[in-house]
Copies of this chain bind each other. A is one copy, B any other.
Amino acid sequence: MSSKARIGLLGPFPMNGGDGTHSYAKNSTLQRKSADAVRGKIGEAIAEKLDMETLCSGGKSFHIADFGCSTGPNTFIAIQNILESVERKFKTQCPTSQTPEFQAFFNDQASNDFNSLFTTLPLDRQYFAAGVPGSFHGRLFPDSSLHFAYSSTALHWLSKVPEELLDKNSPSFNKGRIYYTNTLDKVVDAYSSQFAKDMEIFLDARAKEVVAGGMLVMTMPGQPNGIPHCQTGLGMSIDYLESCFLDMVNEGIISEAKVDSFNLPMYSATLEEMKELIQRNGSFNVEKTELTMANGELQLQSYSSYTGRILQMHLRAGMEEMISKHFGTEIIDDLFDRYAMKVEYFFHRLQSSERKGALLFVVLKRK
């Protein structure tokens, strides 16, 4: 699984804001690696599938939205790439018309650090920028007002923890675990069913907002068929985090009940699951779906300098707020120090799991 997938950082709790040591802005280079990998594919999809003549006839402006943008710089790079690809396609298709104006909407939850996002917007941007606060599990834009919707490393975050995981009397009670690796099938089902509900709401909302012929591109951690969750990079990473929590229970630093009632609201779908959800929604034509296997060898070489400490910095930028809210801020430094040590110690296992990781890449077009 790609490093981006393993430490996907967007969710119901915002990334760490600002530009300090633990900020997302300073700890999102791994996400960029994955974004780089799909950049070319997005350009291809735009070149091959987007009909600019229909979308921008009569001098209409072109509206792009990034759902789950967090703070910069990754979202700025993504928007710039989309803009340039669209512009290129327009010039090929409508060589005598004037290039459309672009408006870019940066969406994330209202608690996201929009102040940082806004003050770091590229000064030489070729688009009008707007921030849109609110959950993408719901409507955010007027009918047919977007031409290109994009979401990167965000949709694997669930809108909430499935309730049955917290119910002591439920067969899905997730005792002593914080995720769905190495646990009951019922727990996996609860996660999978929450993901299906969330995607249904997301696709319904975007179907209303994206104009006919407009594009929806999604990338997120994916689950390869036939590989147990616990053997993926993401599963393994979370297992280490879980074992840090359990160590802290054993040392009396946190209570068992606290761990029992904490579950990470993220899920990696298989390509088949995703295809089925898109088909069930019915509003989009599937232009491309792909489970990109991370290139393990390449990752090993290029990430050889990443120590456990750097990986924990990335995880911390994405999860600190969520964990603090449940366990209190006082355990944070201790927890992530333990995590860094554990990851460093077991780094060779994580490295081999890289080969079993994957990124879902989906290109849809609004019917």
Q: Is the CB of B131 within 8 A of A131?
A: yes
Task: Report the separation of the CA atoms of residues A90 and B102 in the bound assembly, to the nearest whole angstrom.
Answer: 29
Give the chain B neighbours of A141 by CB distance below 8 A.
103, 128
Could you tell me the distance in whole angstroms from the C-beta of A190 to the nearest C-beta in chain B?
29
A255 touches B (CB below 8 Å): no
Instruction: Let me know if B110 and A142 touch, CB within 8 A.
Output: no
A143 touches B110 (CB 8 A): no
With contacts A131-B131, A141-B128 known, is A114 near B111, CB below 8 A? no
Q: Tell me the chain A residues, 108-132 only, with Cβ under 8 Å from chain B.
A: 110-111, 113-115, 118-119, 121, 128-132
Contact A129:B132 (CB < 8 A) given known A114-B118, A141-B103, A142-B101:
yes
Give A194 Cβ to nearest chain B Cβ, in Å: 24
Indicate how many identical chains form the complex. Answer: 2
Residue from B103, B110, B118, B133 within 8 A of A145 (CB atoms): B103
In the bound complex, what is the Cα–Cα distance between A139 and B143 (angstroms)?
25
Q: Which residues of chain B are within 8 angstroms of A121 by Cβ–Cβ distance?
A: 110, 133
| A59 beta carbon closer than 8 Å to chain B | yes
> Which bracket fits the contact residues of A?
20 to 34
Question: Chain B residues with Cβ under 8 A from A102's Cβ?
Answer: 142
Specify the chain B residue showing the minimal Cβ separation from A139.
Answer: B128
Shortest beta-carbon distance from A120 to chain B in Å: 9
Interface string of A130-154 (1 = CB under 8 A from B): 1111100001111101000000000
Are B61 and A143 in touch, CB under 8 angstroms? yes
Question: Which B residues are CB-close (under 8 A) to A339?
Answer: none
Q: Indicate whether A361 reaches chain B with its CB closer than 8 angstroms.
A: no
A61, A105, A128, A134 interface centre (most CB from chain B within 10 Å):
A128
Q: Are A130 and B132 interface neighbours, CB within 8 A? A: yes
A142 touches B103 (CB 8 A): yes
Q: Say which residue of B113, B129, B134, B143 sits within 8 Å of A129 (CB atoms).
A: B134
- Give 9 A-B pairs besides A61-B145, A128-B139, A130-B132 with Cβ atoms closer than 8 angstroms: A59-B143, A61-B142, A101-B142, A105-B130, A111-B119, A114-B115, A128-B132, A128-B141, A128-B142
Give 9 nearest A-B pairs by CB, closest first: A61-B142, A118-B133, A101-B142, A131-B131, A130-B130, A110-B118, A114-B114, A130-B132, A115-B115
A residues sitting closer than 8 Å to B (CB atoms) are 59, 61, 101-103, 105, 110-111, 113-115, 118-119, 121, 128-134, 139-143, 145
30 A-B pairs within 8 Å (CB atoms) are namely: A59-B143, A61-B143, A61-B145, A101-B142, A102-B142, A103-B141, A103-B142, A103-B145, A105-B130, A110-B118, A110-B119, A110-B121, A111-B119, A114-B114, A114-B115, A114-B131, A118-B131, A118-B133, A119-B133, A121-B133, A128-B132, A128-B139, A128-B140, A128-B142, A129-B132, A129-B134, A130-B130, A130-B131, A131-B132, A131-B133
